[in-house]
Structure 1
Amino acid sequence: MIYLLLSVLSSTVIFIVFRLYTKFGINTLQAIIVNYFIACTVGYFGYIDGSSNISQVSSQEWFPGALMLGVLFITVFNLAAITTQKSGLSVVAVATKMSVAIPVLFGIFLYNESTGFLKILGIILALVAVYLTSIKSKEGISIKYKNLIFPLLVFVGSGIIDTSLKYLETSYVSETDVGLFSSTIFATAGIIGIIILIIQGFLGKLSISFKNILGGIALGIPNYYSIYFLVMALRSEGFESSTIFTLNHVAIVTLSTLVGIFLFKEYLIRKNWIGLAIAVISIILVANSAI
């Protein structure tokens, strides 16, 4: 459970960093790309096990999956950016966090994980809580039909990322390789990001600022550990992946919302408060279903 808590805390720090990007006018794309290389470096130097040769990473069974996840990481990020521009931040928040339904169903049907009443009720309430805490207007969420494809892709992409993490760590990644596995994912995303920046440079749209690099450094460390601790939590005995993913997503939403209130003085509408209450109930139900 300690790994799950650490993953939630790391993800909440990511939320804080993103909020500060707006305050300091940081270019999100550039900071994200720097962040991938920082996350990769943290994992690389944290990989102390001497039984494997780092130069032989490409021969590892999990290597193709790590490459795929790296591509998905930066692809989903760009889709989220497009969705934010076209439909708003609330739509992205809902699409990203509601995607927990995909790995949960994956765990239940592929790994025959438990489906007790408390757990199912808790998962349903968690999805309701995510929606209610994410919307920022009394009218709810409104998406134009022509823009619907973007949040759908964010939803599916985010779900595939979580599901793939579970599948790869279960089938191919040894405990001593978790750090190296995570670093490879971030390195792949970073290399693709560099290619994007090079293209922008040729098009005359690139302007690199030192503050964007600092923003990437601030993001890279918690970003690495959010993935590392999540993978370690998935390896914990006594907790099924459907339970871990549900608790992880709803706890991040809850804690991030509370941080928004106390640190950034965010205003919550009635639906947000109801969502927070439901989130707490869902956490209690899902946690107790695992006992």
Structure 2
Amino acid sequence: MIALLLSVLSSTLIFVVFKLYSKYNINTLHAIVVNYVVASTCGIVAFNKPVAVSEVIAFDWFYYAIALGILFIVVFNLMAITTQKNGLSVVSVATKMSFIVPIIFGLWYYKESLGSFKLAGILFAVVAVYLASIKSKEGITIKKENLIFPLLVFIGSGIIDTSIKYIEDAFVAVNDVPIFSATLFASAACIGFVVLAIQAIRGKFVFQFKNILGGIALGIPNYFSIYFLVQALRSNLLESSGIFTVNNVAIVMLSTLVGILLFKEKLLKKNWIGIALAIASIILVAIENYI
């Protein structure tokens, strides 16, 4: 329970940091790259023993972590493109709805249970995420020619969560979670530095110290969001499909409430309905586990 709560809090802090990026005109790409360096450093420190590159490469999960780190950067760029093409609401819904992918994977691959309460909780969660994420009365509209971008964000984000579950379950020892996390973040950082180098060569890179501060502010909760999510998945609290459902709707619910308290956001009636459904979803999934 503690690990799940800390995962939700860490992910909500990520939301707060991203909101502050727009307020202080932080270059998101530059801060994201710094964030991966900071998150990787957190993992190395938490590993609490000397780290030799040769030993890390020898781990069974090494190449999976590298691939996952690359996917982090790819999905981030897809999110940026989707925001430009379709708007922030569309990318927000596509990202948050992606929890459906690891849920389906857990039900299919791990043969997890799907009783009536859990099914209702998952369906409530899907509706809750949508309603809580849409901040305009008109809802969202997507041009047919731009549909591919939010679809790729949805699939990519879902693959990331699914891969974390599969890799940590199949390859990562309990004590190796910090160095596994550090490796995937380091992989993402390396790709990010390549992108920044290309920008520099083209004369489009402008260094600003505030972007480093923004990256540090993001990197710490980003590391712990992954670390505590893995710990929650390894607990006996819920099956992975239940963990992903509760984790995501709780993040959406808490982020929405934080938006009201810290950023004076005004919610529509459907946003409040989304919050109510989120609470109902968590209750239903919990009931399923204990009946």
Write the letter of the residue equivalent to 2:27: N
| Contact residue 49 and residue 176 of structure 1 kept, 8 A | no
Aligned in 2, Cα 1:176/1:209: closer, same or farther, shift over 3 Å?
same
Q: What is the percent sequence identity of the aligned residues?
A: 63
Q: Residue in 1 aligned with 2:58?
A: 59
Distance (Å, rounded) in 2 between the aligned partners of 1:135 and 1:142:
11
TM-score if structure 1 supplies the norm length? Answer: 0.98
Q: Are positions 1:143 and 2:142 aligned together?
A: yes
Counterpart position of 1:226:
225
Instruction: Please give the residue correspondences for 1:203-282 in structure 2 after superposition, counting only pairs within 5 Å.
Output: 203-282=202-281
Task: For residue 59 of structure 1, report the CA deviation from its aligned partner.
Answer: 1.1
Code of the residue aligned with 1:16 in structure 2: it is V
Q: Distance in 1 between matches of 2:130 and 2:276?
A: 13
- Report the Cα distance in structure 1 between the residues aligned to 2:52 and 2:23, rounded to whole angstroms: 43
Deviations 1:109-149 (A, max 9, x none): 11010101000000000000000011121111101111111
Per-residue deviation, 1:49: 4.8
1:238 Cα offset (Å): 3.9
Aligned to 2:90: 91
Match of 1:35 in 2: 35
Gaps of 5+ in 1: none
Residue equivalent to 1:161: 160
Give the partner amino acid of 2:96.
K
Letter matched to residue 280 of structure 2: I
Q: Which amino acid aligns with 1:205?
A: K
Q: What secondary structure is seen at the aligned counterpart in 2 of 1:290?
A: helix
For 1:68 and 1:286, the matched residues in 2 are separated by 32
- Number of aligned pairs? 290
Give me the CA root mean square deviation.
1.1
Q: Which moved more, 1:271-280 or 1:54-63?
A: 54-63
1: distance between equivalents of 2:165 and 2:47? 20
Aligned to 1:105: 104
CA distance, structure 2, for counterparts of residue 286 and residue 188 of structure 1? 35
Once the two structures are superposed, residues 198-257 of structure 1 have per-residue CA deviations (whole angstroms, 9 ceiling, x without a partner) of 000111110010000000001000000000000111110242000000011000000000
Distance 2:288 2:280 in 1: 12
Equivalent residue number for residue 152 of structure 1: 151
Q: Does 1:15 align with 2:22?
A: no
- The whole-number CA distance in structure 1 between the counterparts of 2:131 and 2:34 is 33
Alpha-carbon contact 1:100-1:245 (below 8 Å) kept: yes
Q: How far apart, in 2, do the equivalents of 1:91 and 1:283 lie? A: 24
- Runs (4+) of structure 1 exceeding 2 A deviation are 52-55
**Residues 3-31 of structure 1 deviation map (CA, whole Å, 9 limit, x = unaligned):** 01000000000100111111111100000
Please tell me the residue identity of whatever aligns with 1:59. A
Segment of structure 1 superposing worse, 40-49 or 200-209: 40-49
Task: Write the mapping of 1:65-84 to structure 2, written as runs, cut at 5 A.
Answer: 65-84=64-83
CA displacement, residues 31-61 of structure 1 (integer Å, 9 cap, x when unaligned): 00000000000110110257x8554111110
- How far apart are the structure 2 equivalents of 1:187 and 1:16? 23
SS at match of 2:204: coil
TM-score by length of structure 2 reads 0.98
